[in-house]
Structure 1
Amino acid sequence: MLKSTPKYVNLLIAALVLFSSSVFAQDTSDQDTSSTGGTLTFPDPSNYSLEVIFDPISGNYLVYKKIGDVLLPIPEVWTTDQYRQYMYDQAESDYFGSKSALLNASGDNPRDDAGLVPQLQTGNEALGKVFGSDLVEIRPQGMAEIRFGGRYQYVENPGIPVRNQKTFAFDFGQRIQMNVKGTIGDRLDLGINYDTEASFAFDNQMKLNFEGEEDDIVKRLEMGNINMPINSSLITGAQSLFGLKGQFQFGNTMVTTVFSEQR
């Protein structure tokens, strides 16, 4: 004969089931709220830093948190990969931080006027005395195109020997458009303009120009494509010259010399 379960036991079981259901519903509600809510991230204080110590026994890195001069006693343990990633992130942050500070300080982008080849400061005192400065800057611009291929030709002509009916030859081609501007110090300028498809030879220009100071005997030196204008109706000047031209001053006398060929 089975004994019936007491009534108060059934009531106790029902109460436990209801309590468990309410707790589960409360936990689910809390999880949903936390997943949809946002988080606030505050920057580290200025006196907060990390001190990393290498442990040769375990081969890991012990990372201590430091606030001011107080070192927290319990460190974090980093592997070699974690420490390498931390150093990479620090270097990247410092690099972009320095570039941002430079941009904010100048107000202009320092790369706007930069050429393909960066400025070079030689530190040579003799170069600075001759050209006014030891700063060398070269700005190349242009394009270069190289074509490479082959040409196969078959001519079915009974009057031509069989071995000469089939021909193969390589086909090469190039095109260069180049414009170079450069300076050495404050007195020497370089300009080159070259195009392989120029119609005339004088379209390709190359000029080296040196400017002297007010008290120098050498006032100007030009090398490359030059001209010699003459302010006279009896003798006409020459144009499209290639060579060397110099202007010198001896007291109140100006002397101009030209060594060149006409193109």
Structure 2
Amino acid sequence: MIVTIVLTAGQFFAKAQYKDPGILPPPPPSNDTQWGVASLDSAGMPNLTPTIPPTYEALAKSTLAADLKTPDNVKTEVEYDPALGCYIVRTKVGEFEIGTPFMLTPEQYNDIELRRSMQQYFNRRNGELVKGKTEKEPFNVLDMNFALGPLEKIFGPGGVQLKTQGSVQISAGIKSNKTDNPALSLTARRKTYFDFNQKIQANVNATVGDRMKFGMTYNTDATFDFDSKNIKLAYEGKEDDIVKNIEAGNVSMTTGSSLIRGGTALFGLKTTMQFGKLTATALVSQQNSESQSVNTKGGAQTTDFTINADEYDENRHYFLGHFFRDNYDTFAQRLPYVSSGVQITRIEVWVTNKSGNYNQSRNIVGFMDLGENKVLSSNYWQPNPAYDNTCNQSNNLLQTIKTEYPDARNINTVTQALEPLQAYGIDGGKDYEKVESARLLQSSEYTLNPTLGYISIKTALHADEVLAVAYEYTYHGQVFQVGEFSADISQSDQSLYVKMLKSTTVSPRTPIWNLMMKNVYSLGAYQVQKSNFRLN
């Protein structure tokens, strides 16, 4: 049913577009009748419409009173009497009737309910229109909505909508590292820098009308780099448009043929057009992913790998001395049998303490030339030709430090005590390093090859960390020792003299540069079977 709302001065009424004899139409407007006023009496006073309708005709035909609001305690109830087959209309205040009840037939009751439901529907629609024009939603930066105006003919209805969701966490701090290295200037001993850490998970969705959409996703915790940032701008055409779809940003390509494979993690431009029954898809993009083929045989996975020669596993694997490095090929030429005659029986590995654990810590002074006979950084140390292998007696370094520089035992006076050695080209930070409260590594933190004489640290060392060792081994039935063990110097406040394998000064010109093994590579794989490994 279509109803036309006609508004006149001081009144409005509903005018039906057709006549149904089963429903009583509303009364026509009267020129001398105002809202809620029926007529004027002889004295010129208005006759008010009764608040309580006495009959069905008054309820369905007459205009109800509008001058006063019916009190809330006045209730009109409708009861159905099955014996009579009619509806009884009662007007009550509480439990007392204030009007004469009258009966309605089922047809009359249905007509009244239809008229009332229609009136409530149009009142609700009119209220929504008025509310939409008068009330404005508060401005929200994360959820914005703008009207397009004349541009709706191009992009369609809906306006511009922008919605942002997600979370952003930013932590900032300052780190300051101080290295008491006498070889460095005072300004270079302390390094202060800012430390920022951020965690962002944000989604931005925008629409322009019902045709253009924009989406952006930023996630710093994504597993892959190409998943951390996703940007997509899409335009969707109508059913009768030639251009069906245009996408820019992170797009995907799917094909219905097994001969031409689709691509993933694509960044570029994609368009879909339709010419009658012909559909054409064009794509120009850059692929940010890589596909690999995995072969399995007997339940095991086989994967091809390629590694450059300079991509060795650095700062983890070290020879214990030049004696083991120079004889490595000779000792390992008959693998799996190692013909070295060496068996390392005891070892202590010391590193710079950055963990804050001081349970097994000692002050150490590591010397580069300790235990060396042929490869020496300084000519000041005299080699002993009686010892061809590495040991404390291979040169006079340890004996000279003990006798001529006794103050080097005190970690606070190491720099001053060994300062005279600078005249012979022996400098701190290069030829020797002092480490206060160095940490003793547990046996689970490194792997020792007792016959070939090298160790592998489980965690790679940083450039500013020092690595030093003291070990004991047997060679051709004789026992040799390099460095001092913690049990040799019982006083914990005195420094230990140990063999330095890595210093804070990284230079290929120093002899200990060759102690770092550069023939160990990481495949990035686990549980590799030795029998199925092939190297070309």
Give the TM-score of the pair, scaled to structure 1.
0.52
Tell me the alpha carbon deviations over residues 103-156 of structure 1, each in whole angstroms, 9 at most, x when there is no partner. xx9xxxx99xx9822311132x1x212211251111101122333322122223
> Equivalents in 1 of 2:273, 2:155: separation in Å?
17
Among residues 142, 148, 152, which one is paired with 1:128 in the alignment? 152
Among residues 273, 278, 288, which one is paired with 1:248 in the alignment? 273
Partner of 1:167: 191
Establish whether residue 187 from structure 1 lines up as the match of residue 211 from structure 2: yes
> Equivalents in 2 of 1:202, 1:162: separation in Å?
44
Among residues 119, 122, 125, which one is paired with 2:145 in the alignment? 119
Tell me the alpha carbon deviations over residues 8-61 of structure 1, each in whole angstroms, 9 at most, x when there is no partner. xxxxxxxxxxxxxxxxxxxxxxxxxxxxxxxxxxxxx99xxxxxxxxxxxxxxx
When the two chains are superposed, the root-mean-square deviation of aligned CA atoms in Å is: 2.9
Establish whether residue 210 from structure 1 lines up as the match of residue 205 from structure 2: no
Q: CA deviation at 1:260?
A: 0.9
Query: CA separation of 1:240/1:169 partners in 2, compared to 1, >3 Å: closer, same or farther?
Result: closer
Q: CA deviation at 1:202?
A: 2.3
Partner of 2:462: none
Query: CA separation of 1:163/1:206 partners in 2, compared to 1, >3 Å: closer, same or farther?
Result: closer
Q: What SS does the corresponding residue of 2:221 show, helix, strand or coil?
A: coil
| Runs (4+) off by over 6 Å | none
Among residues 245, 257, 263, which one is paired with 1:238 in the alignment? 263
> Equivalents in 1 of 2:177, 2:258: separation in Å?
62
Query: CA separation of 1:151/1:115 partners in 2, compared to 1, >3 Å: closer, same or farther?
Result: closer
- Structure 1 residue identity aligned to 2:199: R
Partner of 1:37: none
Among residues 210, 222, 225, which one is paired with 1:201 in the alignment? 225
> Equivalents in 2 of 1:262, 1:180: separation in Å?
24
> Equivalents in 2 of 1:166, 1:241: separation in Å?
46
Q: CA deviation at 1:236?
A: 1.3
User: Residues 12-91 of structure 1 correspond to what in structure 2 (within 5 A)?
Assistant: none
Q: CA deviation at 1:216?
A: 0.6
Partner of 1:222: 247
> Equivalents in 1 of 2:207, 2:190: separation in Å?
55
Paired positions, count: 156
> Equivalents in 1 of 2:154, 2:256: separation in Å?
32
> Equivalents in 2 of 1:233, 1:168: separation in Å?
58
Tell me the alpha carbon deviations over residues 57-91 of structure 1, each in whole angstroms, 9 at most, x when there is no partner. xxxxxxxxxxxxxxxxxxxxxxxxxxxxxxxxxxx
- Percent same amino acid among aligned pairs? 40
> Equivalents in 1 of 2:194, 2:258: separation in Å?
56
Query: CA separation of 1:256/1:169 partners in 2, compared to 1, >3 Å: closer, same or farther?
Result: same
> Equivalents in 2 of 1:153, 1:234: separation in Å?
59
Among residues 169, 178, 197, which one is paired with 1:145 in the alignment? 169
Q: CA deviation at 1:159?
A: 4.4
Tell me the alpha carbon deviations over residues 206-250 of structure 1, each in whole angstroms, 9 at most, x when there is no partner. 212221111111111111111111111222122221111111111
* Gaps in structure 1 of 5+ consecutive residues: 1-44, 47-100
Give the TM-score of the pair, scaled to structure 2.
0.27
- The structure with the largest helix share of the pair is 1
> Equivalents in 2 of 1:190, 1:142: separation in Å?
16
- Structure 2 residue identity aligned to 1:190: F
Q: What SS does the corresponding residue of 1:129 show, helix, strand or coil?
A: helix
> Equivalents in 2 of 1:169, 1:236: separation in Å?
49
> Equivalents in 2 of 1:164, 1:115: separation in Å?
47
Query: CA separation of 1:217/1:149 partners in 2, compared to 1, >3 Å: closer, same or farther?
Result: same
- Structure 2 residue identity aligned to 1:217: I
Q: CA deviation at 1:167?
A: 2.6
* Gaps in structure 2 of 5+ consecutive residues: 1-67, 70-126, 289-536
Query: CA separation of 1:152/1:115 partners in 2, compared to 1, >3 Å: closer, same or farther?
Result: closer
> Equivalents in 2 of 1:166, 1:261: separation in Å?
45
Tell me the alpha carbon deviations over residues 139-197 of structure 1, each in whole angstroms, 9 at most, x when there is no partner. 10112233332212222344444443333222233332211112111112222111233
